[in-house]
Structure formats: C-alpha cells, structure tokens
Structure 1
Amino acid sequence: MTNKSQYRLTESTHHAQPKLWQSAGLPASGGIELINAIQKGLSIDIITRLNDELDVSKMYILNATGINERSFARRKTEHGRLKPEESERVARLVRIMDSAIALFEGDKKAAVEWFNTSASTLGHHSPKEMLATETGALEVTNLIGRLEHGVFS
C-alpha cells in the first residue's frame, strides 16, 4: 500500500505563455462570449495590442484584416469600436496566428515570418494573403494542421 504522504505536490515552475487571443484582449477564443463581443464590435485597442504582441506595424494588422486605414481612423474618433465584420476578420487573424504560433512552438517571430511566406499549397500566396475570405482562412488552418502532422503536400 502506498503512503500518500510520500508524495508532495509541487507547483510547476513552467508557466505557459498566454495565447494571443488572451494578450490581444479577446474575451474568449471562441463560443458565445466571443460571438457577442464581435457583434458588439471589438475595441480598436485590439489593433495596438496585436501590433505590440506580434511586433508588426499597425498597417500590417490593418492589411491582414482588410481594414481601411481611413475607416480605422474614423472609428477611433467616433466610438472606438470596429464594425462587426471588421471584428470578425480581426478574430480570424488572431485565431490563425495562435495556431501558427503553436506550430512554431511559441516563436511569434517565426510564425509571422511564415505567415508572410508564399506556399505552393496556397496557390503561391502567403497565409496572410489568404485571410481576405473565410474559405482562404480555412485553407490556412488546414495547412497548419497538415504541417503539425508532418504532411507537407
């Protein structure tokens, strides 16, 4: 019989890095809470948090999400919220970047570099270029899944 007092519970010294969705300020990675936030319109502050977290420019984030710079500036002065369709595209970027960061074992710089590199399996487009449509984003997600499982075609 094993004596339970033989075993000591120790606190792990390894703390997982927060997911991008957490650092960016999304309320959740999916589900009703995220849907409600998207329908309300995400705070424009998410763009700044993303550019800080990914170490990319504001224009990079706006281009990747298809948000016009003038529209963004207008939202900033009007009410500080993105439109629901813009919010959806930002959430899509965050979701896919989280997957890419996981693929590169937490290396955000490598994930961003990969995100900008054309892939033959994406018709010689970069993952970033594919985000304009949900179908393109799905192809990027599928590619990440194949790479995680060692399927390179």
Structure 2
Amino acid sequence: MSMPQSIAVPLDYDRIERGVSAAQVQDLIRKGLISREDVYRAVPERTFKRRLAEKGNLRIEEADAIARLMRVNGLARWAFGEDEQAQQFLDLPNPVLGGRVPRMMAATDAGAREVEAVLYRFAFGDYN
C-alpha cells in the first residue's frame, strides 16, 4: 500500500510560509476539505470572520494547525475508505488513544502524530 494521494494537503510549507488568506480557507471549507468546526479549533470564530471581512491572512501557527487537521482528516478518509467511518473514528473516544477523541488530539502536533500512527496501523492491518 503506497502513500495515498488523498492525504496531500493544499497547505504545504511553502504555501503556509507565503501566507494563507482567510478567503482561501473559506474556499477549502466550501470544497469540503475541512469543516468549519475544525477551522474554529485553529482560529477562533470571531477572529476568522474578522480576517475574512478584512481580507487578511492567518498567522503561520493558525495555517499550520489547519493543514495538520486537514492531513489527519485525509488520512482517516484514506484508512477507512469512506467519509462516514472516518468521521466516526475522528469524533468518538478511542480506547487505543487512551479514550481520547482523535479530532481533539489533532489540535496539537504530538496528538496528531499519535492519531496518524493509529490510522496507519489500522490501514496496514494492525487492529490493536
């Protein structure tokens, strides 16, 4: 099983470094690549809406957090093969992750790496 193309995130390092506008993130929401709720985990709702109105950019840390959430979401879709199962995995407490909710863990880099490790193990047949 090779690295899935669906995990490729449109917000790579170069893109983040050049600047990501709130309007670009709004477009990602419209395309279904990230949920509004996930964006609001990275950027408070009022701040995001203000940046949209002002046609402003996200801070690097905010854009990075959105890219991380998109990467975890894409990996879950790839591992499960369908959106509904991927969303259930991301939204429910997981015993392998100590009863924590994967989507909440993905708010940090360390947590996202743990979630990704579980998803890769699952995708390659390790169900423990």
Unpaired segments ≥5 residues, structure 2: none
1:42 match: 20
Deviation at 1:49, TM superposition (A): 2.4
TM, length-normalised to structure 1:
0.69
Q: Which has the higher helix share?
A: 2
C-alpha contact (below 8 Å) 2:20/2:63 kept by paired residues: yes
CA distance in 2, matches of 1:51, 1:21: 18
3-state DSSP class of the match of 1:53?
A: coil
C-alpha contact (below 8 Å) 1:51/1:61 kept by paired residues: no
1:53 aligns with one of 19, 25, 32: 32
CA distance in 1, matches of 2:118, 2:7: 19
Unpaired segments ≥5 residues, structure 1: 1-17, 28-33
2:6 match: 19
Matched, 1:143 2:121: no
**Alignment length (residue pairs):** 123
Alignment RMSD (CA, Å): 2.3
2:66 aligns with one of 75, 90, 107: 90
Q: Provide Cα deviations, 1:56-106, integer angstroms capped at 9, x if missing partner.
A: 5x2x1234x43211111121122332111010011101111111111112x
TM, length-normalised to structure 2:
0.81
CA distance in 2, matches of 1:97, 1:55: 8
- Pairs within 5 Å for 1:57-68: 58=36, 60-63=37-40, 65-68=41-44
Residues 51/138 of structure 1: CA separation in 2 closer, same or farther (3 Å cut): farther
Deviation at 1:52, TM superposition (A): 4.2
